[in-house]
A = this chain, B = another copy of it.
Amino acid sequence: MMLTLSCVRFCSGLTTFRTAAHVRPLHSVSGITVAQIDEEVAKLLELKAQLGGDDGKNQFVLKTPKGTRDYNPKQMAIREKVFNTIIGCFKRHGAETIDTPVFELKETLTGKYGEDSKLIYDLKDQGGELLSLRYDLTVPFARYLAMNKITNIKRYHIAKVYRRDNPAMTRGRYREFYQCDFDIAGQYDAMIPDAECLKIVHEILSALELGDFRIKVNDRRILDGMFAVCGVPDDKFRTICSTVDKLDKMSWEDVKKEMVVEKGLSEEAADQIGQYVSMQGGMDLAERLLQDPKMSQSKQACAGLSDIKLLFSYLQLFQVTDKVVFDLSLARGLDYYTGVIYEAVLTQAGVAPVANDTQNGAEENVSVGSVAGGGRYDGLVGMFDPKGRKVPCVGVSIGIERIFSIMEQKAEALAEKVRTTEVQVMVASAQKNLLEERLRLVTELWNAGVKAEVMYKKNPKLLSQLQHCEEAGIPLVAILGEQELKDGVVKLRVVATREEVDVSRADVISEIKRRTSEA
Q: Which residues does A use to contact B, with CB under 8 Å?
A: 12-15, 21, 57-58, 60-66, 68-73, 76, 79-80, 91-105, 107-108, 111-112, 121-126, 128-129, 131, 133, 143-144, 146-148, 153, 155, 160, 162, 164, 176, 184, 186, 188-189, 192-193, 196, 199, 203, 235, 314, 317-319, 335, 379, 382-384, 386-388, 420-423, 435-436, 439-440, 443, 446-447, 449-453, 456-458, 472
A421 with B96: CB separation less than 8 A: yes
Known: A122-B123, A122-B126, A443-B319. A63 touches B421 (CB 8 A): no
CA separation between A372 and B111, bound complex, in Å?
A: 42
A439 with B73: CB separation less than 8 A: no
B449 with A92: CB separation less than 8 A: yes
A101 with B68: CB separation less than 8 A: yes
B62 with A147: CB separation less than 8 A: yes
Contacting residues, chain B, for A121 (C-beta < 8 A): 123-124, 126
| A101 contact from B101, B176, B472, Cβ within 8 A | B176
Known: A452-B92, A458-B189. A102 touches B99 (CB 8 A): no
B104 with A65: CB separation less than 8 A: yes
Contacting residues, chain B, for A21 (C-beta < 8 A): 235
Contacting residues, chain B, for A68 (C-beta < 8 A): 101, 103
Contacting residues, chain B, for A125 (C-beta < 8 A): 124
Nearest neighbor of A196 in chain B, beta-carbon distance: B456
A57 with B123: CB separation less than 8 A: no
A123 with B124: CB separation less than 8 A: yes
16 A–B contacts, CB within 8 A, in A order: A60-B107, A62-B146, A62-B147, A63-B147, A64-B147, A73-B98, A73-B153, A76-B98, A79-B99, A92-B452, A93-B453, A94-B421, A95-B421, A96-B421, A121-B126, A126-B164
CB distance from A498 to the nearest CB of B (A): 22
Contacting residues, chain B, for A60 (C-beta < 8 A): 105, 107-108
With most chain B CB atoms within 10 A of its CB, the pick from A13, A68, A111, A122 is: A13
| A94 contact from B57, B99, B147, B451, Cβ within 8 A | B451
Nearest neighbor of A112 in chain B, beta-carbon distance: B14
CA separation between A317 and B451, bound complex, in Å?
A: 18
Contacting residues, chain B, for A452 (C-beta < 8 A): 92-94
Contacting residues, chain B, for A126 (C-beta < 8 A): 121-122, 164
CA separation between A81 and B196, bound complex, in Å?
A: 28
CB distance from A67 to the nearest CB of B (A): 9
Nearest neighbor of A95 in chain B, beta-carbon distance: B421
CB distance from A313 to the nearest CB of B (A): 8
CB distance from A153 to the nearest CB of B (A): 8
| A387 contact from B57, B131, B384, B387, Cβ within 8 A | B57
CB distance from A103 to the nearest CB of B (A): 6
With most chain B CB atoms within 10 A of its CB, the pick from A63, A186, A472 is: A63
Contacting residues, chain B, for A69 (C-beta < 8 A): 101
A92 with B446: CB separation less than 8 A: yes
CA separation between A297 and B280, bound complex, in Å?
A: 86
With most chain B CB atoms within 10 A of its CB, the pick from A12, A79, A96, A108 is: A96
B456 with A186: CB separation less than 8 A: yes
Contacting residues, chain B, for A472 (C-beta < 8 A): 94
| A63 contact from B105, B160, B440, Cβ within 8 A | B105
Contacting residues, chain B, for A443 (C-beta < 8 A): 199, 317-319
Instruction: List 10 additional contacts besides A63-B147, A70-B144, A199-B446; criterion CB under 8 Å.
Output: A60-B108, A64-B100, A69-B101, A71-B99, A95-B421, A101-B176, A126-B164, A186-B456, A192-B456, A317-B436
CA separation between A72 and B193, bound complex, in Å?
A: 22
Known: A94-B451, A439-B318, A443-B319. A100 touches B70 (CB 8 A): yes
